[in-house]
Amino acid sequence: MCTVTYIPYKGKMGFILTSNRDEHKFRETIPPQLYTEYGAEIGYPKDKRKGGSWIAMKKGKLCCLLNGAYEKHIKEEYHTRSRGDVLKKLLASVNSVDTFFKSEDLTNVEPFTIITCDIKDQHISLTESVWDGGSINIRDLNSDNSYIWSSTTLYDKHYRAERRKWFSDFIDGDISEITKEDIFNFHSHTHTDDINHNLIMERESGVKTVSITQVEYSDNELQMCYTDLIHDKKYNIKL
C-alpha cells in the first residue's frame, strides 16, 4: 500500500501494476483468494484485523490504495471506517469512479489515494482518486505512460522525489524491453543505504515491507501474484 508503480505494455494492450506493502511485521494478512462482496466476485489479499485490502481486482478492473493524500496527516478519533472497505466497494461498483464518489460518504475515512485501472471495449482507463479529508479529487491519467506513487504517511516530499528519480532511471529508454521480473526486481532491491526509505524498507518501529503484489493485465486476463516476504511464499489468482 505504500509504493506503487504502473507500467504499460508497448505494442499491445496491457500493463503491470506492482505494490509494496509497508506495514507492522506482526500484522497478519490472508493470502489472495476470491470472494463475493457487494454483489461482485473480487480477488484480493485480506488484512486479517480489519478485513479490508490495499489491492483488489475483478474481471476487467483493478484498484490499488495508498495511505495518505498529498501530505502527511494526523489520524483522528472519527476516522472509524476502513479505507480498505472503500477500495472494495469502489471495485465492485458498476459506476464510473466519478459517479461512485459523488454519492459515497467519506466523512469517517482517513485520507487515501486510490489508483483504478478499468478495462472496457479494448481501452484502459487509468484514474487517480485522492481523498484529503475534506474533498475528493479525481484525475484521469494517460494509461500509455508510466507512474510511481509513494505513501505520504511514510515518505516526505524529499524521499518521494528521490523515489521518482529511481523509477525514472529504471524505465529510461525502451520500456518494451522491461519484463515483469525486471519490475519485481526494482521493487525488491535496494536503491540506497538508508533502510528507512528504501523500496524494501524497515524501521525501528517495526514497520517494514512485508509483501509485494504484482498484477498483470494481458490477453484479456488479470493475474495477481502475491509475494509474502515474511514467510517467503508466493500465491497466484486469476480473473
Query: What is the predicted pLDDT for the residue at 31?
Result: 96
The 10s digit of each residue's pLDDT in 2-22 is 899 999 998 889 999 999 998
Lowest mean pLDDT, pick from 76-80, 83-87, 106-110: 76-80
Query: What is the predicted pLDDT for the residue at 227?
Result: 97
The more confident residue out of 212 and 198 is 212
pLDDT above 90: residue 39: yes
The 10s digit of each residue's pLDDT in 172-185 is 877 778 899 999 99
Length of the chain counted residue by residue? 239
pLDDT-based confidence at residue 148 (cuts at 50, 70, 90): very high
The 10s digit of each residue's pLDDT in 57-66 is 999 999 999 9
State phi, psi for 17 to the nearest 5 degrees: -115, 130
CATH code, domain carrying 164: 3.60.60.10
Per the structure, the count of domains in the chain is 1
Share of the chain above pLDDT 90, in %: 74
Query: What is the predicted pLDDT for the residue at 3?
Result: 94
The mean predicted confidence, pLDDT, of the chain is 92
Closest CA to 53 of 14, 74, 27, 72: 27
Cell 529510461 belongs to residue:
172
Q: Which residues of 175-191 are buried (b: 16+ CB within 10 A; e: fewer)?
A: eeebebeebbebbeeeb
pLDDT-based confidence at residue 221 (cuts at 50, 70, 90): very high
Share of the chain above pLDDT 70, in %: 99
What does the pLDDT average to over 117-141? 95
Domain hosting 172: range is 3-238
Query: What is the predicted pLDDT for the residue at 1?
Result: 63
